[in-house]
Amino acid sequence: EAITVLAGLRWVTLVHQGTEVKLFQVTVHSDSSNTVNMFNSLRVLSPYNPILINSADLLLQFNIELRVVHIPGSENSVTNTLSQNNLELTYSLHPGLKVFNMETPQTTMGELEK
């Protein structure tokens, strides 16, 4: 799920590119305590460093204030219905929700060196 947070941050920067907003406040609800801990402590095992470094770069570059909060999986109906590819149920549970396709970010060391 950490890579999904990074993908979301990249999406925010693309959608709001060129706007006059001085601070973007982004809240992510995750049922993964590992992901929540990663973004709240800024400490991870080395294989996850590229995700955290890419995320931190975006936070600093685009002045994003990120909150990652835990939500029990049983209460995370959006994620559950999306993971089952059940858009009809997703929209019925959350009218007005907008769902976008996103590419999975590549977080290789080569990309970090660019």
Q: For residue range 12-55, what is the model confidence (pLDDT) as tens digits?
A: 888 877 777 788 899 998 989 999 999 999 999 999 999 999 99
Q: What pLDDT was estimated at residue 113?
A: 44
Share of the chain above pLDDT 70, in %: 91
Torsion of Cα atoms, 95 then 35 then 27 then 6, to 10°: -90
CB 56 within 8 A of CB 41: no
Could you give the percent of the chain with pLDDT greater than 90? Answer: 42
Q: Is the per-residue pLDDT at 111 higher than 60?
A: no
Q: How far apart are CA 108 and CA 80, in angstroms?
A: 29
Q: What's the pLDDT band for 87 if we cut at 50, 70, 90?
A: confident
pTM recorded for the entire structure: 0.76
Q: Given CA atoms 59, 62, 64, 70 in this order, what sign does their dihedral have?
A: negative
User: Can you give the residue range of the structural domain that contains 94?
Assistant: 2-112
Report pLDDT for 112. 44
Please name the residues in contact with 46: beta carbons below 8 A apart, sequence gap of 6 or more. none
For the chain, how many structural domains are there in total? 1
Residue 99 — pLDDT band, cuts 50, 70, 90?
A: confident
Question: Hunting for tokens 């470094």 — which residue is that?
Answer: 53
